Amino acid sequence: MSRPVPNPGILDIAPYTPGKTPVPEPGRKVFKLSANETPFGPSPKAIEAFKHVADHLEDYPEGTSRVLREAIGRAYGLDPNRIICGAGSDEILNLLAHTYLSHGDEAISTTHGFLVYPIATMAVGAKNVIAQEKNLTCDVDAILKAVTPKTKLVWLANPNNPTGTYIPFDEVKRLRAGLPSHVLLVLDAAYCDYVSRNDYEMGIELVATTENTVVTHTFSKIHGLAALRIGWMFGPEHIIDAVNRIRGPFNVSTPAMYAAVAAIEDTAHQAMSKQFTETWRNRLTEEIGKLGLKVTPSVANFVLIHFPETGKTSDAADAYLTRRGLVLRALKNYGLPHSLRMTIGTEEANRLVIEGLRDFMAGK
């Protein structure tokens, strides 16, 4: 019997695997530290704005996310007409792939880049090309070396998930200058709000001065609105126009829009979250390092912990911590089978992870 058959290459795509979501147990406190979610939740102002529109859920959203684009424009000094919003930045990444990639094309990402990049690339029949990283960090020369006449797009998460590493803005500019002019450079700045390095920029300047660069961002991290799925992109007018032609007309809900407006305007909430994250990122790196475990220097809201290949392995540590109610992210699907990624959580959760790893390494 015949049946519908997926397009060539679809069944070759490895499905996206999210971080584990723990199942609550009676009398047991569980800390989910597997999905890079903020421990503070959204701004109270965002929650209030979300509730305020509950009486009008029968109305379709305003189709262009105008109020949100204008709020983003005010926050970053951008032209709202060069901003597009989506149901999470994931949707925007997929829209870019559908707009600029086709069968036979190639897109480049790095060894441990965000898993959505190969999915978006392969879903439209293009080839995902991997540029090797250096010390778990993007290598601009490796990306440039991977370029062929078929290359149409380069994905770059900066900072990168799951490594937490970044490249300075001078390197980003060198990458752009070295790419052919027809190649679209996508700068994914999901974790930029946590960076406190003088040599880092999310990429707005580069977008403003070129015709072939875009930057994407999300409200899922420091703004704490992951459940509402809101992302945005700043790009040249011709790219915004092209992507808007295939974007769904009501892809961002009204409650999400107004919650995001309130969130981006609550700069005090963002500053508090950033300071807490930086303090505990440094402390976790130091304390876990004292246990004989390597921690990759991070600028994001998580740390990458490396374990031996035998003995005190990442699998054993994951199981041990999970029994204590501490759920971290195993990274086999990212090509890091001996590592765990830990989201920076509440003070209590962070202390318990340090204590749990100390006991694990001591064999208790």
Least confident of 6-10, 78-82, 226-230, 290-294: 6-10
d(CA 120, CA 96) in angstroms, rounded, equals 9
For the cut 80, the answer to whether the pLDDT of residue 209 exceeds it is yes
DSSP line for 173-197:
HHHHHHS-TTSEEEEE-TTGGG---
The per-residue pLDDT for 12 is 82
CA 52 vs CA 55, 252, 257: distances in Å: 7, 17, 12
Number of helical H runs and strand E runs in the chain: 12, 13
The candidate with the shortest Cα–Cα distance to 120, out of 155, 147, 86, is 155
Tell me: cis bond preceding 15? Omega within 30 of 0 counts.
Answer: no
Domain 17-41+268-362 indexed as CATH 3.90.1150.10: yes
**Averaged pLDDT for residues 122-132:** 97
Helices (H), 87-235: 88-100, 116-123, 140-146, 169-178, 204-209
pTM higher than the cut 0.75:
yes
Q: Which CATH number fits domain 44-265: 3.40.309.10, 3.40.50.2300, 3.40.50.720, 3.40.640.10?
A: 3.40.640.10
User: Where along the chain do its domains lie?
Assistant: 17-41+268-362, 44-265
What whole-number percentage of the chain has pLDDT above 70? 97
Q: What digits encode the pLDDT tens for the residues 147-173? A: 999 999 999 999 999 999 999 999 999
Question: Which residues fall within 8 angstroms of residue 201, CB to CB, at 6 or more apart?
Answer: 169, 172
**Averaged pLDDT for residues 10-27:** 71
Q: What digits encode the pLDDT tens for the residues 254-285? A: 999 999 999 999 999 999 999 999 999 999 99
The candidate with the shortest Cα–Cα distance to 347, out of 45, 33, 35, 47, is 33
d(CA 295, CA 357) in angstroms, rounded, equals 13
Q: What digits encode the pLDDT tens for the residues 175-186? A: 999 999 999 999
